[in-house]
Structure 1
Amino acid sequence: MSTPAAFLFDMDGLLLDTERVFLEVAVALLIRRGYDPDAGRAFFLTLVGSSDSHARERLEGLLGQAQHVDAFHADLYAAVDARLDSDVPLKPYVQGTLSALSGNGHPMAVVTSTRGAAARHHLSKAGLIGHFAHVIGGDEVSANKPDPAPYLEAAARLGVAPERCVAFEDSDRGATSAARAGCRVIQIPDLRPPEVELPDLGQHVATDLAAAMAHLGFSTPV
């Protein structure tokens, strides 16, 4: 197996353990609005990996009028920002993996559905942003995941053919985007509906980032 020329990382649920924060806050807000918590959790699990625009479309179907979605979004992001302001939790092995890769000069980028400004803020708070040549948000690409555009555009910014990149994703939408772009894909599932099987994209599935790097022939410092 040849060494990748570049490494492309999703952010929420892959580098940052933030999907759980969003889920907990969203379900609490739905309970306050009279929704069943189990139904709310099931609904939000289907949004993992979605762009803001796609999530908004789905929320309009759940909440009804646009002003209800606006109010929910405002409450959601205010509460999440407050939680993450004091601590941005990392997924296992992230710090050691990124430090080792950047220390050896491997080019890296973040490819996330989160808006670029928010993504860079969270990565800065987590102490990770210095590892990446580019952080590309969902509002900074021509189309969102599962379209291949985010990964095609990230590879182009790094000056590397997509086929020579390895992409790390937790969500099905993200893994599909990377596979369609022609990247080698490693999926590390995080939060997902329990009844939904992983898509067959030719991806390698790993339990965590250390196992993913071992598959590529890299050791991961703890």
Structure 2
Amino acid sequence: MDITFINVCDFIGTLAFAISGIRLASAKHFDLFGAYVVGLTTAIGGGTMRDVMLGLSPFWMTNSFYLICSAIALVWVIIFRKLLVRQNNTWFLFDTIGLALFTVTGMEKTLQAGFPFWTAIIMGSITGAGGGVLRDVFINEVPLIFRKEIYALACVIGGFGYWICARYIVPPLYCSIICASLVILMRFLAVRYRLHLPVLKAEDESKKAQN
């Protein structure tokens, strides 16, 4: 895999996730420092979980790039605050881009560390969705992956797409592009057609619904 491509994915994914976190924090009327913390946590949260589970040093501790990139995202939101806060589709767009690209970087880092594909799919999903979980906790919302909307499952589907392509000796670059495209496609289809997994209901609730 071309290291430049991974770096580009990392930069765009970090910026996109940081913007999505800061945008939601702004809508909740957080101050600048609080918004920055939420944006940074959204950007590095999933990757930190991944690195800890893989027995690696968290990536952001040895590279200030992620702190600077999150600061750039804060400035971006300050400049375009009215546009970003008023339009819900802007949050969805940045969140989806971050989800897709971080799924790719999570899988690539796991495979480079020598782990099997099934582990890479799990770690890619955690890298993509983990930061969003922490973001939602910080802004006092139910994490998106625990609601009906398809979120982490999109990462899993993208990961399987990567795995299938790799089995047929598709070049790694194209595997990554296909993986990211599947994640984005699944998110757009899920929102557009309101696709979701079945909701687990308690037995008492089911009887009340029937009555």
TM-score, normalised via structure 1 length: 0.26
Higher helix share: 2
Q: Which has the higher contact order (CA 8 A, sep 6+)?
A: 1
TM-score, normalised via structure 2 length: 0.26
Higher strand share: 1
